[in-house]
Structures are given as structure tokens and as C-alpha cells.
Chain A
Amino acid sequence: MNIKIYSKLWKLIPIVVISFSSCTDFLSVTPDNRTEVEGYYTTAQRVDQAVVGTYVDLRRALLSNYSWLMYGEARAADVTVNVDFQPYVAAQRLKVDHYELKQLTDWGYFYDVINSANEVLDIVNTAEPEVLSEYQRTLYRGEALALKSMAYFYLTRIWGDIPSGEASDMGQPLTAAAAVDRAAAYAKEAKDLLPWVLLNDDGIESAALTAVRFNKTAASLLLAQEELWANKGSEALTTLQALFADEASLSGFGLSLGIDRRTEIPETPLSGTMVSMPLDRLNSLYPEGDTRRASLFTVSASQGTATLIVKDQSKLDLLKLGELNLLLAEAYWRSGQLEEAIQYLVTAAEGATEDYTTLSDGTFADALLLERQRLLVGTGQRFFDLVRFGKVSTFVPEFSETDVQNGAAYWPLSESSISGHSLTQSSYWANQQ
């Protein structure tokens, strides 16, 4: 071989070097038929999508199979949902071999909320400084914590002892009390981070947006619920009183409705005659003269039913401002201040036929429970209230007090909830078919 050829070959070396160094670029393909996680959260709008995704998860957890009612009023047999598995739920036959019923015994959707919320926290914590403003950073953290708190609170109210969904102790069992404490700690942190009113994309305060995302009021209501569940009346009182400290405008929280791309959740789950109450039950619950029944139900005497009125089809209220007085009443009562408690209950129960001014320590609980049943109908709280007030065996004829002690008030665990966790079916549900 002559030198000429070698000299030509040497000239090729830079080309070879360049082509080697461009290998990495050539082999890095960003698919445009799907969205990859890595490198996605580069704008505030995209981070916002992840936050919204957590709300959509919560919506799926509570709306699929009408679960918010199945875990609440439907199980307490207060309302009837027009689906074929409702009779099983009302009859406490929660282990029947039925597809939707099995889904209801699975807690996976609530853990999706927790996982998504933790993802949001990760995204916010690791986002480049220029991606999020201070307002957004604080808001998103607050929303994620509040959503997580709500998910844990639902989980423990439905199933009692539950596994942790946090990276530090993933899958480890938490007692019901520890789960509520955890939920309260997140809600407390969220309450401090969240604003009273949220800003829309144009930077203007938006009441409509505030109503469907967590805000300081909603986080405080949630925290108060959790504190009352843990029987911490005075702490709940402090939380609720703080709402009036700086005369801010208060807003509840509801889930905005819309299409979920993953399930067959109806877009407007409360439409039509889907949720109703037998007429005789309505009459016993809201006696003639109770001025609230007309605003809550449409009565069809011919069919013998009363249909729940839904004022806003675009939103499912979960934390209503209307609950504030009830919570204050309970907080005062649990803190030993009966007089204030009665005052708030009377305010809350405006339109009732009963005279609550003469309530005593012994009769207050029943009155409060009744007013909560009346005022919060449709928000899915009834069965939880029965558990909290120790009244399950009183109001649910299928259960004796022993059954409740054996775990009947909680939902059975699905097979997939038991597998992979060191939890066992409660003795009540283990013996049911």
C-alpha cells in the first residue's frame, strides 16, 4: 500500500470521530406517538396538568360505580342509586360476586390519588426555578397535600387499617388512628400553603376555579373533619375559628365533572332520577313543615319517590360551606361548650321543625347526627357519621354491636387489596359469603 492511500485514510479520521460522537444523538429518539415522563414538566402549564390529573384521579375514585354514595348514604340506605348493585350495598352484602361490587371493595383508585399527589410534590420540588412562580409552587404543593390528605381520610374511613402509600414506608400497614393523624398532618400543611381564592390563567381571582380546586377554606374544613374524627374537638375548633380571622371570602370544594378517558363514568352522574329516596323515608326524615325538603328533593307522589335536586350539574360538592356551622357546633360540643354548640346547630338547622335550643349534653349528639343527615345528603358522609358517632348498629339493622366490633362497619378487602399487603380480612367479613 502506498503512502498516498494512507494520507487519504487519515483525512477520514475526523469524519469517523464526528460520526461516533453523533451516535448518542442518533440513538436518542423522542417518540411523538406518546408522551414520556422524563423532561416533560418544563412549563407551569404542564405542572398544572399533573395537579389536575390528581383531581381527575380523585374524581374516578369517588365517582366510578357511584362510590361516594355507595360508601355513604347508599350503604346507610338513605338514598337509592339506580344501579343493579345498589340493593346488595343497602343490604350490607358487600362480598357478593358482582363485578362493580368487587371494584368497590378495591382501594386502588384512592392510592392513585396519593401516588399522583406525591408525584406532583416531586415535580414541584425538583422543578427549575424559572418554571414555577412562588404562588404556583406554594399552590401546587398545597393542593397535592390536601388531595393526599383527603385520599387517606377516605381510605381509613372506608377500610380502617390501611397500607401506607408513601415512598418511605410503602405498603406498610397503618392503624386507622395513624392514618387519620397522617391525613390531618397533610391537611394542616396544605391549609397553611393554600390561598383563600385561586388565580386563573390571567392572574385574576376566580371564584369558579376556587370552587373546584382546594383552597384554604376547603383544606380547613377537611382538617376539621379529620380532627373531629380523631375526637380532637378543641383542635378542630381552633382550625375552624381561624377561618374567620382575616375576613376572607370562603369557598367550599367540589369536583368538576367531565370525561374520564379511562373509565365509563357518566359525565353527569347525578342527572335524571339516578339518586332518589323513597317517599316514606323522606317524610320521616324531613317531616311536614321542614322548609328544606323542597329545596333538596323533587317529590313524585305518583311514583312514591323523591329525587335529589342537583343545582349544579357541573360540580359534585364534597366540602360544602353549609357544613361549617355543623362542624363548629360539633367542635364546641366536643370541647365542652354546649351553649355555643347549640347556637351553631340552631343556625345550621334553619328551617327545621325541631326546637334545638333546649338540647342537653346527652341529646345533642343525636340532634347533630340528624341534622348532618338532613343537610349533607348527597355528599356521601352519612355512613361515616354513623361510624364516628358509634351508631352503626342502631341505624343498620343488619349489624349487631358485635358485628361492628368485628369490623362490619368497614368495607371488606378485595383480593388484590389483601395480596401484597400484610393485612387480613376482618373476622366479620372473613365469615361472610
Chain B
Amino acid sequence: MKLLPKRFCKLASVFLATSVAIGQAHAQDVLVMDSLAISNRSGVENSLQGTVAGLRVKDWTGTPGTQSIINLRGLSLDPTNEATAPLILINGVPVITSPSNVTGINPLSYYSPEQIERIEILKSVDQLAAYGVQAPNGAINLIMKAGKAGPLHLRGSASAGVNVLHDFDYRTDAFYDFNSTARRKVFESGSIVHQQNILVDGGGDYGSYLFGLNNYSDEGVLKSTKFGRQSLFLNAKYNITPKLKAHFYNNLALTNRDGRYAGEYSRAFTLPVIEDETFFMDKKRNVAFLSSIGLSYQLGPGLSLNTTAGISYEGASRDIYIPSNILKGSIYASSDAYKRQLISIKSALKYQPTLSNDWTMDLTLGHELRATDNRLTSVGGSRSLESGGSNFVKVVTGYNANQTDALSDHDVEQLIGFYGIGKWSYRDDLKVNLVLRTDGSSLYQNKWGFYPAVGVVYNLANTLKLPVTAKLSAGKMGMLNRPQAYRGELVAKGDYYNGNSLGIGQLYPAFRDAKSVDVTEIDAGLSFQIAPSITFDVNYFNKTYQDFIYKRYLPNSQGIDYQYETGGKLGLSGFEFTLNGTWVHSDHFTWSSNLNLAAYNNQVKELPNDLTNTSLAYLSALSEGDPITSLVAYEGNQQKVIGNSEAKLFGGISNTLRFKNISASFVFNYASGTDVLTESFGSRYDAASVDHQFPLKNAETPYYFIQGDAKNPVYQGIRTIEPASFIRLNKAVVTYHMASLFKKNQRVEDFQLFLRGDNLATFTKYSGFNPEENVAGVRRADLSYTGTPLPVVFALGSKIVF
């Protein structure tokens, strides 16, 4: 080592530590952000693809600023529902993470990967039960970087690159194929992606500080659909007294996304509307703020009190204008604003007495309060050119009342939880984790639910001299059931007596038995230390979800259409395998890998009786054992399961190599066992026009969907059923560490040049552009629920640390 410069040794050791961290990560489910191959795309989730067994991140669209679909052992009655997504926390504080339906901007794009220290992935029930009804489908905790000891450090990084639609065959692309050649002009290869980050930090006896800013911009492959983010953040820790410590975290992000592509408004245009379909205003703006304050007080030896209060706020607005050449003579304008806030307060008393040399104990008693408040206002209207509209006036004013739609909606939900967590450990051999939690929700009359869990980890190394650790946990969690229905709901029926008396009546009666979905889970796992630097983990889990809320349609002599009920049972189980290894480890060359694989199976275990008279009637083709993610269509007059939208196998392969001062990471991800149904553009019929018999078409499947409404049903033929299995070189990063160039300048700790690539190659038999582009496994004829083409992104950048 003496032959190598000191700085290089330091760098190598950091690199090694991070390589090991990757290796360890999967056992402990902690990912160190700087050790990951970071994505050029906005959205933290894109850097997690293929890294953890069981964490599925679906790259469904190329539109910048859109959230990829995130699933971590998640399931619900509607598999595309946001309820299936994991709980996401920033430094343990719950934040708004689902994209608002006003702008669709991804809240996980408010943070740059540069801000993140590490990511904790929580999957097992003994870790999740402590969150009660908040994390039935896993949790991801982002721990943000904090200041390190020393007077001042400065880190700067910047990169710039391009989006490329390589190997782009318009004949197979969903967008081109179904419509006009004019749409080719919508796409733009070579658009710019760039970002800049600055972080300043330091620390001492007083505490630590870190602040910074970043800018991100992605022009996207659809012309004029640029996405941008600017953020300022602060992470400060202050030791008020030796016993009292405060922690402040703030992140303010401004994001914007423009859309001028007519296809985003409606993909059902049957003819080329205008030459390039881009004369269109659609401005989306989000302001997002996260602020948290934590106080920690050391009451005595082993006894401390911690309180954290957090506010996550997002203001989303969208202004839209559509000119008359798209709407055949009318112009349309609307403005929507959606303000969401999530306030959480968490307090915990922590007691860690010294029991003996062998035994340790850690007890936590806590209380959590969570309040969400979402408010939507929307105004929109149209007017024809004949009645005074102008194609050159982008904001239409002076609508007649009957041309304007106005809407205001307000949704409030409150939650209180009390919990106790006990952790005991005996030497390095045994760890026991016991969680008891009770949650009260404003959604129900019987507010409180009880969620216990227990977990045991036993290391056989000492007792049996085997390099094996066994894990077992079991417990119960909850998933919130909406809407709030326990007090019944009234409906406005109509005007009477000169239109000045409003008639009202019952929409549905009170449902006093409403409660959360019960989610029970059993986890078992073995971890083998095959060699000092090679581990193999296998985990099994089995989750059962029961008592979903649904509507029961009543006999028509009851005078009321429906009432709510709970019922139904789903199961999700699977095996997860992880192999971590450092195969070569020398001064000049290091090679480490991670291979992870998840084999999942979801199934319907029980459906309500008399299913056809419920709002779950659409599941009537499924029988016990069928996946809830089954794709169902008609053949003749019968419904039939003809595919599965969810992968049976998925995972990732990562390799990290270092040769002298060049390092490289390659991440592949893959999925197998998914089907895609493609709707036909040609075989679509009004049921009445074909005498209620779907006409079979050569070269297409015999299957069809029934769409439209009860009055005018429409038969939509299915052209193909095809597998959407794939393996993708998801990310590659090559880094050249050049700190040695600055050996004379002691202030420069690190300097890197890097080349990063995303979505570099996809190997699949799927005929479309991206095997993950269909949200629900169906490529609709109007392409609703199908993403835009996913570009390859290359970026060249540098990073310097003082």
C-alpha cells in the first residue's frame, strides 16, 4: 500500500467500504446511496431498480417527472391502486409520495440522490407492525445526508447528457402504430438532461449542519414536455445542552412539467389533428415543502425522550388551454389546484437499561399522530369560436354559467397510534423483537385496531458452529379502507317547486362495521455466510389480506342502491433470494456482485358471496387460487382468465468493478411471467350494430372486452396476447477517480469524472417499445394507461469534494 498515494488508499478504502455496503445491504436491507449506480432520471426510485430482492420498480413511461411504479411485497384488490405502494419516509417522517392527479409530478423527484445518505428497506412484519395501518405494503426510509465533523466541506457535482430514442421502430411503437405519421414529429431524440448539485456541511461539538441546492432539468423525448426541479435543503443538528438535542430538516422543491402534446389530453383522436399536435398549453407546477423538527432529551442513563414533528406539503396546479383546431371549433381552458398536507407528530420514550453482560434490552413506548388534509379546486370551461372564443386568447374569460364547470373538494383524515417495541438480544446469538401497536382512524366508528408482531433472529455460529442465521417473524398490520362510511351519506336528488327546493335522500346507509383491511404476515429466512465476503440469503413470506370494503347492491325493492360491506381475502407469498459476493479483492482490482431474485405468487383466497351483486362483480371470472392480477376477457359469452399482468419472477444483477482508479457498475433488472393484452384498432364494435355477437377476426385472438356503458356497450377485440418478459441493462456507471491529480492541493478530497447511462439495452420478445409500458397489463386502443417511449439517457459529469 505504501506504493500508492495516501489519498488513493483513502479512496480505495471508501470504495471498498461501499462495495461491502452493497453486499451487506441486501442482508440488512440498507442501501448506501453513494455506492449505488445513480439514475440520470428524476425520481429517487429509479436508482433502486434491481437492487433489493422483492423491490419492483417499473419503468412504465418516458415522460420526465413521472413516478415509476413501486411495489414492495404490495397487494390490494385493485393491483394498480396507490394503496399497493410502500410507505415512504424521510428521516422517519412520513411524506406525501403519491403523485397528485392534477399534475402527476412525482413527489420522489423533490429530492436529489446526492442528498441521500442511505435507504432502509423494511419488508418483514416485525419491522412494519410498528407502523400499524401505515405500512402494510412495506416501507422505504430515506436517511438524508447530515453534516460531518470538521469546519466545512463542500461538495459539488454536475452532469449533462442526452435522451436518445435508439432502435426506434415506429411500426412497433404504441404511439405511432395506432395513429398518424404526424405523431413522429412529436418525438425528439437528443433532448438535454442536466443537473447541478452543491452541498455544504460541517460539524463540531455544537452539532452539525448541511445545506445545499440543486437544479435538475430533463427536456424529455416528447417535444415541449420539459421537466425541471429546483430545491433548497437544510439538515441541521444542534446540541442545545449535552442532554437536549435538536434536529431540523427542510427541503423546498419547485417542480414544473409542461405538456403540449395533444395525445396527453386525449389519445382517442382518430385522425391527425394538426401537423405536429403540439400547439397546446398544459403547464403543471408543484411547490413542495418538507419540514421536520426533532427533539431528543436524555432523561437519565438509558432513558431518553424523542419527539419529531413533520409537515409535508404539496401545492400542485395545472393550467390548460386547448385550441380550436384540436377541439373542432371550440377552445377549452381550465385551471386546477390541489393542495395536500400531511402533518405527523411522533413521540417516544426509549429505555435501554443494562441487564447483564449477555443480555441487552431496548424498550420504546411511543405515540404517533397523523393528519392529512387535501383540498382541490378546479374551474374549467369551453366556448366555441362562433360565440366569441378566440384562438389567440389563452385564458378564456366570461363564460356563461352553463359553460363552466367548477369543483371544490376537501378530504381530511386523522390517525392516532400508540405503540410499544421491545428488543432483547443475547450475545450475538439471539435477537427477539416484540411490537404492539394500536391505531385509531377517523374513517371508522369502531376506531381502534390492534397490531401485534414478534420476530426472532438466531445466529447458529456460536452454538452449532454453522455460518447460518435463521429469522422468523409473524404478526398483523392494517390497510386503511376508504371511504369514511360509518355515518351514511346523503345525495342531492333534484330541484322542486320552481327549482328552489332541493330534494335530498340517502345515498347509502351508515356502515358502522367499517374497519381496516387485516394484513397478516409470516416471514422466515436463512442467511448463509458462505465465505467471509460471500453471503446467500433466502427469505419466504406469506401475507394474507382480508376484509376489503366494497359495495353490496341491494334488491331493487329496498329503495336504496347499495350498502357497504367488508369481505374478501387475498394472498401474496413468495421467495426472495440474494447472493452477495466480493469475488476479487486486491489493491488494483476489485469485483463484487449482487444477484437478487424474487418469485411471487398472488391469489384470490375468498370472494364475497353473491359476487355479481357487488362492486367486485368484475372479479366474477376468478376462482379461488387465481391471481388477482389476472387478465380477464370474454370468449363467446363467457369471461375467461387469459393472462397475468404481474411478473412471477423478477430481480436484478449488479456488478461493481474497480481497476486502479477506474470503477464501473452495471445493473441489470429483469422480470418474467408477465402477459400483455393488446387491444385491436380494427375490431371495435357497438354491441347493437353486431347484434350482440362479437365477430371473430382472422389473425386476432377470439377474446374481447366489453366497454362503454350499460346503454351502449362496445365490444373491443384483443389482437394479441404476448409475453412481456425482459432483461434490461438498466444502468451503467463508469467513474474515473482523479483525486491524485490534486495531491498538491490538500483541500481537494475527491474528484471524479463519470459517465452514466440509463435503459441502455432491453432484451425482450415484446413487440412494443417497452415491456413495462402498460400499467395494467393491457395496451388499450386509446393508449390510456400506456406510457410514452422510454429513452436511453447518457450523461457525462463530474464531482468534486473539498
Listed residue (B299, B441, B502, B505) with the most chain A CB atoms within 10 angstroms of its CB? B505
Please determine whether B555 and A116 come into contact, CB atoms closer than 8 angstroms: no
Give the number of chain A interface residues (Cβ < 8 Å): 68
Residues of B within 8 A of A260 (CB): 493-494
Interface of B is mostly: strand
Instruction: Check: A171 CB closer than 8 A to any chain B CB.
Output: yes
| Contact A59:B494 (CB < 8 A) given known A31-B411, A111-B557, A171-B555 | yes
Instruction: Give min CB distance, B13 to chain A, whole Å.
Output: 42
A23 cross-chain contacts in B, Cβ below 8 A? 416, 440
Residues of A contacting B272 in the complex (Cβ-Cβ under 8 angstroms): none
- B488 contacts A57, CB within 8 Å? no
Are A37 and B556 closer than 8 Å at their CB atoms?
Answer: no
Contact, CB under 8 Å: B504 / A53: yes
User: Does the CB pair A261–B557 fall under 8 Å?
Assistant: no
Chain A residue nearest to B495 (CB atoms) is A258
A107–B711 Cα distance when bound, in Å, is 18
Query: Known: A99-B710, A111-B556. Contact between A36 and B299, CB under 8 A?
Result: no
Interface residues of A in 87-108 (CB under 8 A from B): 97, 99, 106-108
Interface residues of A in 342-363 (CB under 8 A from B): none
B410 pairs with A56, CB closer than 8 A: no
Candidates B299, B369, B505; contact of A1 at CB < 8 Å: B299
Contact A115–B559 (Cβ < 8 Å): yes
* Chain A positions within 8 Å of B440 at CB level: 23, 27
Contacts of A108 in B (CB 8 A): 556-557, 559
Report how far A19 CA is from B440 CA in the complex, Å. 14
Given contacts A53-B503, A115-B558, A115-B560, contact A258 B299 (CB under 8 A): no
| Interface contact B503-A49, CB-CB below 8 Å | yes
Asked whether, in the complex, the Cβ of A163 is within 8 Å of the Cβ of B414, the reply is no
Q: Which of A1, A56, A419 counts the most B-chain CB atoms under 10 A from its CB?
A: A56
Residues 522-566 (chain B) with a chain A CB within 8 angstroms: 554-560
Contact residues, B704-740 vs A (CB, 8 A): 710-712
Are B505 and A212 in contact (CB-based, < 8 A)?
no
Q: A28-B442, A52-B496, A59-B494 are in contact. Are A112 and B559 (CB under 8 A)?
A: yes
A155 to B457 alpha-carbon distance, docked (Å): 69
Contact B493 A262 (CB under 8 A): yes
Is B151's beta carbon under 8 Å from chain A? no
Residues from chain A with Cβ under 8 Å of B504 in the complex: 35, 49-50, 52-53
A134 at the interface (CB under 8 A from B): no
Contacts of A34 in B (CB 8 A): 489-490
Asked whether A365 is an interface residue with its Cβ less than 8 Å from the other chain, the reply is no
| B-contact 0/1 string along A351-385, CB 8 Å cutoff | 00000000000000000000000000000000000
Question: Which chain A residue shows the least CB distance to B369?
Answer: A26
Considering the chains assembled together, what is the distance between the CA atoms of A39 and B487 in angstroms? 9
Task: For B554, list chain A residues within 8 Å (CB).
Answer: 420
Asked if A421 contacts B557 (CB within 8 A), the reply is yes
Minimum CB–CB distance from B419 to chain A (whole Å) comes to: 14
Please tell me which one of the listed residues B369, B487, B494, B557 contacts residue A258 in the complex, with CB atoms under 8 A apart: B494
B492 at the interface (CB under 8 A from A): yes
Q: Does B390 contact A (CB under 8 A)?
A: no
Taking CB atoms and an 8 Å cut-off, the chain A residues in 241-278 that contact chain B are 256, 258-262
A209 at the interface (CB under 8 A from B): yes
Which residues of chain A have C-beta atoms less than 8 A from B498's C-beta? 208, 256, 258, 314
Q: Choose among A36, A52, A55, A262 the residue that contacts B490 (Cβ–Cβ < 8 A).
A: A36
Contact A54 B505 (CB under 8 A): yes
Closest-by-CB residue of A relative to B413 is A29
- Which residues of chain B are near A55, meaning CB under 8 Å? 496, 503
Q: Which residues from A are CB-within-8-Å of B712?
A: 99
The reply to whether A38 and B412 contact each other, CB–CB distance below 8 Å, is: no
Q: How far is the CA of A54 from the CA of B506 in the complex (A)?
A: 11
Q: How far is the CA of A297 from the CA of B554 in the complex (A)?
A: 43
Are the C-beta atoms of A165 and B300 separated by less than 8 Å? no
Residues of A38-55 whose CB lies within 8 A of B: 38-40, 48-50, 52-55
**Chain B residues, CB < 8 A from A420:** 554-557, 613
Interchain CB contact under 8 A, A99 and B501: no
B303 in contact (CB, < 8 A): yes
Which residue of chain B has the shortest Cβ distance to A51 in the bound complex? B503
B441: chain A residues at CB < 8 Å are 27
Judge whether A74 is part of the interface by a CB distance below 8 angstroms. no
Q: Name the A residues within 8 Å of B410 (CB-CB).
A: 31-33
By a CB distance below 8 angstroms, the chain A residues around B583 are none
Residues of chain B within 8 A (CB-CB) of A419 are 555, 613
Complex contact A27–B442 (CB within 8 A): yes
Residue numbers in B under 8 Å from A114 (CB-CB): 559
Q: Which residue of B lies closest to A35 (CB)?
A: B490
Indicate whether A301 reaches chain B with its CB closer than 8 angstroms: no
B799 interface residue, CB < 8 Å from A? no
> A107's closest neighbor in chain B, by CB?
B556
Closest-by-CB residue of B relative to A258 is: B495
> Measured between alpha carbons, how far is A209 from B497 in the docked complex, in Å?
7
Further pairs besides A53-B504, A165-B557: 11, Cβ < 8 Å:
A23-B440, A24-B447, A39-B487, A52-B497, A53-B493, A56-B496, A97-B692, A163-B555, A171-B555, A258-B496, A262-B493
A interface residue numbers (CB < 8 A to B): 1-2, 5, 9, 19, 23-24, 26-29, 31-40, 48-50, 52-57, 59-60, 97, 99, 106-108, 111-116, 118-119, 162-165, 170-171, 208-209, 212-213, 256, 258-262, 314, 414, 416-417, 419-421
6 contacts between A and B (CB under 8 A): A29-B442, A36-B487, A38-B510, A48-B501, A116-B505, A258-B494
Residues of B bordering A, CB below 8 Å? 299-301, 303, 367, 369, 409-416, 440-442, 447, 484, 487-499, 501-506, 509-510, 554-560, 613, 692, 710-712
